[in-house]
Amino acid sequence: MSGKRVANKYRIKACQRFLEDYESGRYDFDPKDAEFVIRIIENTICHQQGEDKDGVPLRGRPFLLMDFHKFIIYNILGFYMKDTRIKRFHECLVFIPRKNVKTSFAGALAYALGLLYRLSGTKIYVVAAALKQTLETYNFVKYNIIRMGEWDEDGGHFHIIDNNNEHSLKAEISGGLIELNALAANPDAQDSFNCNIAIADEIHAFKKPKQYTLFKEAMKAYRNKLMIGISTAGDDPNSFLAQQVAYGKRVLDKQVENEQYFFFICEADPVKTEEGKEYIDFMDPKSQEMANPAYGESVQPEELMEEARQARDNPQLRKDYFAKSLNVFTSAMDAYFDMAVVRASDEKYNWTLEELAKLPINWYGGADLSKMYDLTGTALHGRYKACQWT
* pLDDT at residue number 324: 94
Task: Return the top range by mean pLDDT from 187-201, 245-259, 327-341.
Answer: 245-259
Q: String of b and e for 185-222 (b: at least 16 CB within 10 Å)?
A: beeeebeebebbbbbbbbbbbbeeebbbebbbebbeeb
Q: What phi and psi, each to the nearest 5 degrees, are found at residue 325?
A: -105, -25
Q: What is the pLDDT of residues 227-263, one digit of tens each?
A: 999 999 988 888 999 999 999 999 999 999 999 999 9
State yes or no: pLDDT of 14 exceeds 90: yes
Q: Tens digits of per-residue pLDDT, 217-227?
A: 999 989 999 99
What pLDDT is stored for residue 336 in this prediction? 45
**What percentage of the chain reaches a pLDDT higher than 70?**
93
Domains by residue range for the chain, with CATH = 9-265 (3.40.50.300)
Q: C-alpha distances in angstroms, 344 versus 73, 167, 271, 350?
A: 41, 54, 14, 12
> Could you tell me if 194 and 122 are in contact, meaning their C-beta atoms sit under 8 angstroms apart?
no
- Which has the higher per-residue pLDDT, 54 or 181? 181
Mean pLDDT value of segment 367-388: 74
pLDDT score of 378: 83
CA angle 54, 56, 60 (to 5 degrees): 140
Rounded distance between C-alpha atoms, residue 146 and residue 228, angstroms? 25
For residue 164, CA distances in Å to 12, 37, 184, 189, 280 come to 44, 31, 12, 16, 44
How many H-runs (helices) and E-runs (strands) does the chain carry? 12, 15
pLDDT at 331 over 80: no
What would the pLDDT profile of 268-280 be if each residue is shown by its tens digit?
Answer: 999 887 777 788 9
Q: What is the pLDDT at residue 291?
A: 96
Judged against a pLDDT cut of 60, whether residue 337 lies above it is answered with: no
Q: In the predicted model, what is the mean pLDDT of the chain?
A: 90
Give 132-166 pLDDT, tens digit per residue: 999 999 999 999 999 999 999 999 999 999 999 99
Distance (Å, rounded) from C-alpha 113 to C-alpha 133? 21
Closest CA to 297 of 51, 33, 36, 7: 51
Report the range of poorest mean pLDDT among 106-115, 132-141, 166-175, 343-352: 343-352
